[in-house]
Amino acid sequence: MVIDKLVMNLKLMYFEGKRNLNKYKIIILMIILYLLTFQLIDPHGPNCLIKRTIGIPCPGCGMTRASYYLLTLQFEKAAFYHPLVFIMPIIFSILLFNGYGVFNTLFKSKVFWGIIVTLFIGVYIYRMYMYYPSVEPMDHFFTTN
């Protein structure tokens, strides 16, 4: 009985996640096209639009590399490139399953998102103070054109 309920809940979460993922297909496609465009224009430059445009890093700078190192289980390198990478699986889960249970509660919680934004701003200020402009990924981007 309990196992049947658990299996049913997991199925509901799976189908709800699939439905939510369908809503984000266009955004995911746009991000992929954006990254591919920058790789074709300048494969050695940063992919960050803010860093590429104004030269200074954004609050998410280093998150792509940090995610790569997190997925390859190199936690020290992941934390170096962006210390908040460890909360990204939680955020993705909330976005994916936002219509279900605790995920829905967190998705609608202004306090939760306020804490996330505060963490990102706090880490950004700290990293800009400690590492900008000489330590990657918080280095300055200069164009040679």
**pLDDT (0 to 100) of residue 145:** 47
In a domain, 141, yes or no: no
In a domain, 26, yes or no: yes
What are the per-10-residue average pLDDT scores of the chain (145 residues)? 59 60 73 70 62 79 86 91 92 83 88 94 90 74 51
Q: Which of helix, strand or coil describes residue 58?
A: coil
Burial class (CB in 10 A: 0-12, 13-18, 19+), 98: middle
**pLDDT (0 to 100) of residue 31:** 74
Q: Phi, psi (5° rounding) for residue 62? A: 95, -5
**pLDDT (0 to 100) of residue 117:** 93
Cβ neighbours for 135, distance < 8 A, ≥ 6 positions apart: none
In a domain, 138, yes or no: no
- How far is residue 107's CA from residue 98's CA, in Å, rounded to a whole number? 6
**Cβ 138 vs Cβ 131: under 8 Å:** yes
**pLDDT (0 to 100) of residue 42:** 60
In a domain, 137, yes or no: no
The total number of structural domains that make up the chain = 1
**pLDDT (0 to 100) of residue 18:** 61
In a domain, 46, yes or no: yes
Burial class (CB in 10 A: 0-12, 13-18, 19+), 78: buried
**Domain boundaries, position 25:** 2-131
In a domain, 144, yes or no: no
In a domain, 136, yes or no: no
In a domain, 50, yes or no: yes
**pLDDT (0 to 100) of residue 13:** 58
- The strand ranges marked E within the chain are none
pTM: 0.64
